[in-house]
Amino acid sequence: MADSNAALYRQLPAIDKLLQLDEVQIFVVESGHHWVTEQLRDMQQQAREFIQQHEQLPSWHNDWLAELTRRHAALQESALKPVFNLSGTVLHTNLGRAVMAKSAILAVNKVMSSPVTLEYSLDGATRGHRDRALADLLCQLTGAEDACIVNNNAAAVLLLLATVAQGGQVIVSRGELVEIGGAFRVPDVMAQAGCQLVEVGTTNRTHLRDYANAINDQTTLLMKVHTSNYSIEGFTAEVESTELAQLGSQHQLPTAIDLGSGSMIDMTVYGLPAEPMPQTYLSQGIDLVSISGDKLLGGPQAGIILGKKKWIEAIQKHPLKRALRADKMTLAALEATLKLYLTPEKLVTELPTLRWLTRSADEVKTQAERLIVPLQAFYGDKFVVEMEPCLSQIGSGSLPIDRLPSYAVTFMPFDGRGNSLALLAARWRQSAQPVIGRVKEGKLWLDLRCLDDEHALLQVLLS
């Protein structure tokens, strides 16, 4: 065996000779001598290990250039690939939630390509505050006295608690101790912020007297958490924000609401289910409200804290703020998104999230009718391809029980075998621009609610 392996080892080409090939030099020019040499060494080592284990050369031995080409192509690909979101979830957390408006994309391009006045005041040539411009805009839109921006809403809640309630007790309804994606729980956030959680009420019913009876000398905050990712129905009761604000004022305690979903407009105006808005709570006397930037707001991932000036100033001075602050790209995208809200009549056309949420079922159906013919012609020998009504969901914990009428193109294998669907779905996920659908009821569903570019989708599906 040693002799046969030695003969195989001798068939491995020397790296110096490979580097002299014109085809390899092309990669040297594009990606550098160091990267190409490292890849060739790695390939040679893998070949040696393969010979040692299998007593034969690897399958790619006869074409080292092809293997190097494959590796070079993988180097050029981004780990964050654009996809067709046909899952039926508009704000899909795993797919990056909100898609940016064109103005936000342009704003990010500008701040990425030039030095900017991130923390520089042009008036006095002194250091400025990175939140100031956006805080003024948020105050204009919501009526808040001041605002603070961090990198996501979980960070906003953590910073809020650490500033306002650290070392004290925070009273929250037992029915609002939510867990969001990734096993992120409100009680855990409170523990990290150095607060003691005090649960009041029951899972389905909490009254103002439950809050009032729990207040003591250790109480530092009265808090509500919007249960945006689930709903309790039936025999229920919750404390209204106006009542909580009055109770806090009576006991000289701050009040806060973790709103999460981040709707800044009355969704019912667009025919959508109602979702609470931060400006409503602020006008009712709540001291602090936190929201997300990349959910119903339709902007980048960010956490926004709105509220009374004295509390926002304290939050801005907390040491955690520097660790949790938003970067210039986030701030630029968020500012451009917020400015769209100054002209609400343009929101439906310019904000992708709202455009997709407000698409009528008839519009989606018309799109499905255009797609069904070429898809039936291409896949009709193996699948029953049909246009079917379906229900989309908003996603990211927003309005969890509400659904949006939509239409999908469905694929059901003639042989009835589930692996046919799995193989088809896997094939689409490996496309140059992956197609993400969902499998249910023995069919692969492509919900078209979020589809803008039909031509590009057909290019992928018919390739």
Secondary structure (H, E, C), the chain: CHHHHHHHHHCCCCHHHHHCCHHHHHHHHHHCHHHHHHHHHHHHHHHHHHHHHHCCCCCCHHHHHHHHHHHHHHHHCCCCCCCEECCCECCCHHHCCCCCCHHHHHHHHHHHCCCCCCCEECCCCEECCCCHHHHHHHHHHHCCCEEEEECCHHHHHHHHHHHHCCCCEEEEEHHHCCEEHHHEEHHHHHHHCCCEEEEECCCCECCHHHHHHHCCCCEEEEEEECCCCCCCCCCCECCCHHHHHHHHHHCCCCEEEEEECCCCCCHHHHCCCCCCCHHHHHHCCCCEEEEECCCCCCCCCCEEEEECHHHHHHHHHCCHHHHHECCHHHHHHHHHHHHHCCCHHHHHHHCHHHHHHCCCHHHHHHHHHHHHHHHHHHHCCCEEEEEEEEEEEEECCEEEEEEEEEEEEEEEECCCCHHHHHHHHHHHHCCCCCEECEEECCEEEEECCCCCCHHHHHHHHCC
Confidence class of residue 213 from pLDDT cuts 50, 70 and 90? very high
Confidence class of residue 410 from pLDDT cuts 50, 70 and 90? very high
Q: How far apart are CA 242 and CA 249, in angstroms?
A: 11
- The pLDDT of residue 398 is 62
Architecture of domain 84-92+356-462: Alpha-Beta Complex (3.90)
Does the pLDDT at position 182 exceed 60?
Answer: no
Q: Is the pTM of this model over 0.75?
A: yes
- The pLDDT of residue 4 is 74
Sheet containing 443-447: order of strands: 383-395, 398-413, 443-447, 438-440
Does the pLDDT at position 376 exceed 90?
Answer: yes
Q: How large a percentage of the chain has pLDDT more than 70?
A: 94
Which is more confident, 59 or 30?
30
- The pLDDT of residue 2 is 60
Does the pLDDT at position 179 exceed 70?
Answer: no
- The pLDDT of residue 82 is 94
- The pLDDT of residue 444 is 95
Residue spans of the domains in the chain: they are: 1-76, 84-92+356-462, 102-347
Architecture of domain 102-347: 3-Layer(aba) Sandwich (3.40)
- The pLDDT of residue 372 is 96
Which is more confident, 193 or 252?
252
Instruction: Provide the token pair at 357.
Output: 């949420």
For the chain, state the CA radius of gyration: 28
Does the pLDDT at position 244 exceed 80?
Answer: yes
Confidence class of residue 356 from pLDDT cuts 50, 70 and 90? very high
Q: Kindly report, residue by residue over 146-162, the tens digit of the pLDDT.
A: 999 999 998 999 999 99
Confidence class of residue 463 from pLDDT cuts 50, 70 and 90? confident
CB 446 within 8 A of CB 408: yes
Q: Kindly report, residue by residue over 301-336, the tens digit of the pLDDT.
A: 999 999 999 999 999 999 999 999 999 999 999 999
- The pLDDT of residue 122 is 86
Confidence class of residue 412 from pLDDT cuts 50, 70 and 90? very high
